[in-house]
Amino acid sequence: MRNSFVYRLALLLFCSTLKANADDLSFSRDVRPILSDMCFSCHGPDDKGRKGELLLSDYEAAVKGGESGESAIVPGKPALSEMIRRIRSNDPDVSMPPPHTRKKLTLEQIGILERWISEGAKYEKHWAFAAPVKPAVPLSDFRNPIDAFVNAELAKKGLKPSAEADKATLFRRLSLDLVGLPPSPEELARYMADDSPDAYEKAVERFLDSSQYGERWARKWLDLARYADTNGYEKDRGRTIWPYRDWVIRALNADMPFDQFSIEQIAGDLLPGATVDQRIATGFHRNTMLNEEGGIDPLEFRFNAMVDRMATTGATWLGLTLQCCQCHTHKYDPIPHREYYAMMAFLNNADEPDLELPNREQERGAEDRRARADQLVDALPRKWPIHSPTEDSSIAWSVPTISVSTDPAESTRVLDDGSLLFPPSGPASSNIEIKFPSLRGKFTHMRVEALTDDSLPGRGPGRTPHANFVLSEVEVRNNGQKVNLSSGLANVEQFGYSAAAAIDGRMETGWAVHADGKDIHTDKSLTIAFDTLLDASGDTQVLLRQQHGSQHTIGRLKISFGTSDTDPAELEQQRRESLERAFAGWLEQQTSSTATWQVVVPIKATSNLPLLTVQPDSSIFVSGDITKADTYKLDLGKTIAGITAIRLEALPDPRLPGRGPGMAYYEGPKGDFLMGEFQLTADGEPVKIASASQSYAKNNFGSQAEASYAIDGDPETGWSCAQGQGRAHEAVFRLEKPLTASSLQLTMMFGRHYACSLGRFQISVTKDSGEVQASKLPSEVQGLLHKADRTVQENQRLKKEFLLHAPELATYRAKIEELRRPPSFLTSLVLQERPVENPRATHIHHRGEWTQPTETVEPAVLSVLNPMPSGVARNRLGFAKWLVSRENPITSRVVVNRAWASFFGRGIVKTQEDFGFQGTPPSHPQLLDWLALRFMEEGWSFKKLHRLIVTSKTYRQASNSNAIGEEKDPDNVLLWRGPRMRLDAEEVRDAALRSAGILADKMYGPSVFPPQPPSVTTEGTYGAMTWTTSSGEDRYRRSLYTFTKRTAPFAFGNTFDAPSGEACIVRRDRSNTPLQALTMLNDVTIMESAQALGKHLAQSNGTTEQRIAEAFARCFSRSPNPDELAAVQAFYQKQEQRFASAPESAKSLSGDGPDDTMSVRAAWTAVARALMNLDEFVTKR
Amino acid sequence: MNPIQRSSFEVTRRHFLRDCGVGVGKMALAGLLAEEIRAQSPGTQVDPLAPRPPHFPGKAKAVIHLFMAGAPSHLELFDFKPALSEMDGKPLPASVTEGQRLAFIRSDAAVMGPQFQFAKHGQSGMEISEALPYLSKIVDDICLVRSCHTDQFNHAPAQTFFQTGFAVPGRPSIGSWVTYGLGCETKDLPAFVVLSTGSGISGGSGLWSSGFMPSVYTGVRFRNQGDPILNVSNPAGVDASLQRDTIDLVSDLSRKRLDATGDAEISTRLANYEMAFRMQISAPELMDLRGESKETLELYGCDPAVPSFARACLLARRMVERGVRFVNIFHEGWDAHSDVVGNHRGNCKTTDQASAALIIDLRNRGLLDETLVVWGGEFGRTPMVESNAALGRSRGRDHHPKAYSMWMAGGGIRAGWTHGTTDELGYNIVQDPVHVHDIQATLLHCLGFDHERLTYRAQGRDYRLTDVHGTVVQSILA
């Protein structure tokens, strides 16, 4: 029974789609699909798998026959044709297709083949590969040619078009189609009130001009672009490529011509004077997934991304299943294996950087901060401490009486010596405000003493168990004005917690006293100098902030004010002298400990794969692909005699990921590197390295990362500078004994469980003796140390460096470094063509295996399509131009067909992704060609195409069924009625928000996190992602802006067939499932929408009927009929009564609002929820 | 299933209306619209999930796949290699490791001997690790395959490869193929259910995706926290009677629209509201383990209140009893790059008792014969030790795709049988290799499918779970 059903169905399908009739037999429409499906997998274009040396996809070859010697086809004589004989044979050794394929031709199919042979067996070029020829528009009264074409086909079938849909229904359809949203009540009212004859056309223009148009059509394009906000695969970490998404919205709103739209996305970087936007556009092909799993071969997954780019390009522009040719020549379409890789070669010559997007505001901010840092540097000499103030006998101290308030409140006691004692157990953090009502006089200094006391834990002075404290910040106010504090000096400072940190304006730093080798249980004091003389007149106030937590607060303290009788000028003199003394000492110390380095320019620099290029400044820049085990070999030639050490500088560069110095771009931090081994050979003999030192070392995974690990013989351990990206670092390798070589070779090995080679570096040598060590000073400063005749500027440079390194000024340095930190610009993933000196070769891969590359191929386009346009370069840009060339027979058809399908639910070619032999032939071939040519003639304008479609009578038909149509054309292929289909996932959610009146109209920007159950991203996904729900308007943005995580897609979208972004999707499924019912009934966004609409209805003035009518208008853009009105009214009344007696339920359901209207709100919420659950709500009709 | 049959789904919903007449009366909540529709015309495939017979009568009617994600070490659990102990600390000969792509270690890494004792068990004398005391007691019920191998050596691609036959996401998963082939037997639960325990799964939702097939064949997640099925609970303030009234109103208004428009999709949607309502009852009922005896809970080692692998196994049995076709339990956590002993002790403690209990429980209930249970990971682990100071790793094992072990039981599988042999290093297979595509072919065979004929047309060609590969492993069939 089942089989007979299948047979019946097969006949039905066969008859309805092929439409073979006695009048005309078309090779393309009727014959080739049979040959393709039944024969070509063995007798088609792929010569590798070809059986019996027989080719049936070509007339000459088919007539000639295969190895049996028989003519497969004898034109005009089916009975003599071997093909027919075998198809009809029951002998399993002879019959075709062979029994093991389990394919069998139907009698109808055999009949078609026989008729075709008897009529001469004419082959035709496949319709999609032949250039469209502008067909004559069938004669008719229709103004819009679409209608003429469609009605001509309907008439052939004896079908009539349906009447125009009613005004409101059509308006809702138009709104959903052009802007992806149901009309707002205001839009609907405005339209319904407009009786002018061109009301519809005006509405079309309004929608086309709306910024929401771009949002709606961008979502469709993003399906093709496989857009997502994460990298995919196991780690599936976040990425920033939403600027590309915004580019698409803007381009569509601007009606950018599709040819330009395509060129910018495929090759925007190669356009002359490419703008930032044009480079952002190349994000299209950066939407490929990135595998960050530790054990992978990054180049293998780069290849997989290339395969994805080919499939996506094929589906998006060419309507071809190119992916079939990764492993072998296409089984059906005339696309050889080689041509697939030749075409890949166009796309395969790009690097994949993160493009920093310039931002004027950020740049100005950075300039301001740099200027402030420079000012601070210039001011550093004045901050130089003169002497230890505790020993300064010149200050006369006095202890004024005080009044104290603390936050949190604590009981305090003033002791006889004027000090203030706190309880032994203090708060975690504290702010103390001290006033000095009796303080009068002029003061230069203030002193804060932290004193021991037997009542304190461990006798103090701090109140932690080990008696420490952190004084985060001291502030002084005089007559309400903040007093500038010029220096802070203490008798004891803990490492990293200097006295100056208590007056640096930063709460996260402070003064602490747990110093190595010193008894903590002694009195401590901090002396602070005022910038200008403090003139006290009874309104002086000191604020002590202690914010370190964990009871790091002082247990007993005393505040004194003092005046130094030293002459300020004399003080300044002292300061200068002290500074000069320290500088001289530093210079001497640095000069003796820093070696004299001589930069070496390698004669030759090679590697296993990346390209090493010597830069004008003698550094080496690395470009191209890196692997998990890269080896750099540098021929340093004949170097100076008596080398004692070699220095490797790892240098930052804006061209590198994370600005370098490393090249890590996945799994590890961007710009990370790990040098596993550093080996020297002199005249063929290994050179022994005695020791290694470095300016900085840090490991991103694990702890050991010092340079000494690069000489331990184990390539898995090495030197790494994690968290030091964007800065220069150096390692110095000291030789066991001085070396003189006529040929010095350096080998550096890089890599760990991810690729992390060094991206820019410089090599120097020294012959200095002694313990040559790596220096923290910049190398140009190191050079100056040994320069004989330094200029004034050079000396100033050295002094600045000294000031920045002096421990006495450490807190200022932290501030300066913070100010100098470059801004972190927004980035977007882009393509960037590789430099001419380092092209990436593209190979044919045997069976499509990454591990089996064979010969290299040069870029070339598919031979079955148009040739490259003249005058274009054989690169990605030329390829892009070829794709959208007027001569390309297929692209325009593919694009208009996709647009058609968006409106009608089905393409003129049903298989939108496959225009090849296996695709379904077009239902309206002439219309398709006419539209394709018109689209190009009108400048590839989407808006013009969309306008043309929506103003056709075909589009404007009612979508209701009728018996004749259902019988003759149940799938509405011929368009006897208007389109009717379920909304896309995003449109369903957006419709709920719009109907409720809570849809936010904010456009662009980072993706947002609307509510969904936390388990979606935490359970079962690697590295569980916390879905931090957005608040405010971001909770209710259009679904286009929802964050898309590939391995755990947004649940609402997933339930309604939104793609995961893992592959290019041309046609979405439109499923109808119980999970969708559960979502519409219970999902939080639908509930919040129902509550918002319920609240609105509850508050509106009107009868119950009027409110129901408004709900219908908002949800369905129409009025209820009397039956519906009665049903909803009955439901409302029943629920209202129920909620009146069930306040708990009413409260939960009604959401925000006053209690006395709770049951009304709850009942209207229930109404809204029910309406949103109707099929009509999720359907375009 | 051939493409013609497949395309029958596409003509479904709109056609059925013509065939069964316009006008579906108002139905009560308990009404069984879906069945009514199914009963209308035996030849009309209204529902893509309608039950369908396979190519030939299969022994198994359901599959429970215990996916040990992260990849357990065959050398510690199933495949005893004393020779490794003798070589402990020395590198393998270069001839063995030549050409092997390794994820984290270098090919000259030293060998590490098996870390657990092994003993022979049962009448079959199957040799099993001491780390699996519960499994050891039921060896005569299972078939151990020691010669599995795969193409991929990293987690996400290898898991995706095992589940979909292809290393890159985008193709249908095994559960989707089975659901596509057999349809759905249960009226109030999904046909294909996915549970996860342990840490997060590397492969993500692509592992139970329907790929290019209609999304009705996608696995439905049962979650450990919150609603077992998303949104299966009513929102606060909505009680059963409001839900009933709501669905009644929806039915009523929908019927009016159906009459007005003739859109059969409306009927399908209504049927789905019926099923959704039933799921709201059946899902909590399924999750409610109060009806399980103390003995059963103890057998599994299951605390009903705590989500665990044991609870997932017990739920899987309950699902199979209720007609669920395919249950995937992903237990992630076997990725022992460091401390293989500690890792595997822990994971065995979590999974061994319940895995064995599932077999015993199914057997006791007479369900084992028609339920195929599969236990295993995406690849094996290297005989060489993984230790890496820079990564803080020691005494672990790296990924090994060339040989690993799995076991199967029930529905058509030969019990008490050990299949395949690896070399004395556990590195290469020396006898009866079983590729992932072979496992897939065999699994489909147990369900009554010829894996070469179960095809789906997408992108112009007929796809199979096994691509152009795969052979049914006859000798492991009962």
Written as six digits, the tokens of A1129 are: 């009214």
| DSSP code at position A579 | H
Name the closest residue on chain B to residue A1158, using Cα atoms.
B237
Does residue A1125 come out as left (phi exceeding 0), alpha (psi in the -120 to 50 range) or beta? alpha
Task: Label residue A393 by pLDDT band (50, 70, 90).
Answer: low
- The residue type at A1023: G
For residue A827, what are the β-bridge partners?
A356
**CA atoms of A929 and A132, how far apart (whole Å):** 5
In chain B, which residues have their Cβ closer than 8 Å to the Cβ of A1066?
A: none
**CA atoms of A664 and B211, how far apart (whole Å):** 32
Q: What is the CA radius of gyration of chain A?
A: 39
Could you tell me which residues come within 8 angstroms of residue A347 by beta carbon, excluding any fewer than 6 positions away? Answer: A266, A285, A306, A309, A310, A313, A876, A879
Asked if B215's CB is within 8 angstroms of A1175's CB, the reply is no
Q: Which whole-number Å values give the CA distances from A545 to A369, A415, A548, B267, in the listed order?
A: 26, 21, 9, 70
- The pLDDT value recorded for residue B155 is 94
Task: Label residue A567 by pLDDT band (50, 70, 90).
Answer: low
In chain A, which residues have their Cβ closer than 8 Å to the Cβ of B192?
A: none
Asked if A1013's CB is within 8 angstroms of B263's CB, the reply is no
Does residue B223 come out as left (phi exceeding 0), alpha (psi in the -120 to 50 range) or beta? beta
pLDDT digits (tens, 9 = 90+) for A798-810: 999 999 888 888 7
pLDDT digits (tens, 9 = 90+) for A859-901: 999 999 999 999 999 999 999 999 999 999 999 999 999 999 9
User: ipTM value of the model?
Assistant: 0.87
**Chain A residues 1019-1078 with a CB less than 8 Å from chain B:** 1019-1024, 1046-1049, 1051, 1054-1055, 1057, 1060, 1062-1063, 1069, 1071-1078
Does residue A480 come out as left (phi exceeding 0), alpha (psi in the -120 to 50 range) or beta? left
Question: Residue A994's closest CA among A882, A1092, A884?
Answer: A1092
Could you tell me which residues come within 8 angstroms of residue A807 by beta carbon, excluding any fewer than 6 positions away? Answer: none
Which of B245, B392, B453 is closest, CB to CB, to A1131?
B245
Q: What is the CA radius of gyration of chain B?
A: 24
Task: Label residue A12 by pLDDT band (50, 70, 90).
Answer: very low
More confident residue, A51 or A165: A165
Task: Label residue A427 by pLDDT band (50, 70, 90).
Answer: confident
What share of chain A in percent tops pLDDT 90? 64
Task: Label residue A51 by pLDDT band (50, 70, 90).
Answer: confident
Residue corresponding to tokens 């890269």 = A630
Residue A4 has pLDDT above 50, yes or no: no
A886 touching B, CB under 8 A?
A: no
Spatial contact of B392 and A701, defined as CB atoms under 8 Å apart: yes
**CA atoms of B209 and B201, how far apart (whole Å):** 14
**CA atoms of A62 and A59, how far apart (whole Å):** 5
Asked if B196's CB is within 8 angstroms of A1020's CB, the reply is yes
Residue A390 has pLDDT above 80, yes or no: no
Which of A716, A918, A1078 is closest, CB to CB, to B231?
A1078
pLDDT digits (tens, 9 = 90+) for A66-123: 888 788 888 888 888 888 888 888 888 888 888 888 788 888 889 899 999 988 888 8
Mean pLDDT of A207-220: 98
Which of A2, A10, A753 is closest, CB to CB, to B391?
A753
Q: Which whole-number Å values give the CA distances from A390 to A15, A444, A447, A492, A1124, in the listed order?
A: 105, 14, 9, 10, 91
Asked if A1131's CB is within 8 angstroms of B249's CB, the reply is yes
**CA atoms of A1059 and A223, how far apart (whole Å):** 7
**CA atoms of A760 and A521, how far apart (whole Å):** 51
First vs last Cα of chain B: how many Å apart?
Answer: 25
Which of B9, B221, B245, B459 is most worth mutating to test chain A (most A CB atoms within 10 A of its CB)?
B459
In chain B, which residues have their Cβ closer than 8 Å to the Cβ of A1051?
A: 230
Spatial contact of A843 and A341, defined as CB atoms under 8 Å apart: yes
In chain A, which residues have their Cβ closer than 8 Å to the Cβ of B234?
A: 1081-1082
Instruction: Please tell me whether the peptide bond between A408 and the residue prior to it is cis, using omega within 30 degrees of 0.
Output: yes
- Whether the predicted model's global pTM rises above the 0.90 cut: no
In chain A, which residues have their Cβ closer than 8 Å to the Cβ of B225?
A: 1014-1015, 1018-1019
Asked if A1048's CB is within 8 angstroms of B235's CB, the reply is no
Which of A2, A8, A9 is most worth mutating to test chain B (most B CB atoms within 10 A of its CB)?
A9
Asked if B275's CB is within 8 angstroms of A13's CB, the reply is no
For residue A476, what are the β-bridge partners?
A542
- The pLDDT value recorded for residue A392 is 57
Mean pLDDT of A159-169: 96
- The pLDDT value recorded for residue A387 is 58
> Mind listing the pLDDT tens digit of every residue in chain B (478 residues)?
343 333 333 333 333 333 333 333 333 322 333 333 333 333 333 578 888 899 999 999 999 999 999 999 999 999 999 999 999 999 998 888 888 888 888 888 999 999 999 999 999 999 999 999 999 999 999 999 999 999 999 999 999 999 999 998 889 999 999 999 999 888 889 999 999 998 888 888 899 999 999 888 999 999 988 889 999 999 999 998 999 999 999 999 999 888 888 888 898 899 899 889 999 999 999 999 999 999 999 999 999 989 999 999 999 999 999 999 999 999 999 999 999 999 999 999 999 999 999 999 999 999 999 999 999 999 999 999 998 877 788 999 999 999 999 999 999 999 999 999 999 999 999 999 999 999 999 999 999 999 999 999 888 788 999 988 999 999 999 9
Question: Residue A54's closest CA among A96, A103, A100, A6?
Answer: A96
The 3-state secondary structure of A983-1044 reads CCHHHHHHHHHHHHCCCCCCCCCCCECCCCCCHHHHCCECCCCCCCCCCHHHHHCCHHHECC
Spatial contact of B64 and B371, defined as CB atoms under 8 Å apart: yes
Written as six digits, the tokens of B97 are: 């490791």
A94 touching B, CB under 8 A?
A: no
Which of A699, A1015, A1076 is closest, CB to CB, to B272?
A1076
The helix (H) or strand (E) run that includes residue A86 is helix A82-88
**What 3-state class would DSSP assign to A225?**
helix
pLDDT digits (tens, 9 = 90+) for A744-772: 999 999 999 999 999 999 999 999 988 89
Pairing status of strand A611-614 against strand A556-564: unpaired
Nearest-Cα distance to chain B for A1103, in Å, is: 20
Residue A646 has pLDDT above 70, yes or no: yes
**CA atoms of A909 and A898, how far apart (whole Å):** 9
Asked if B461's CB is within 8 angstroms of A971's CB, the reply is no
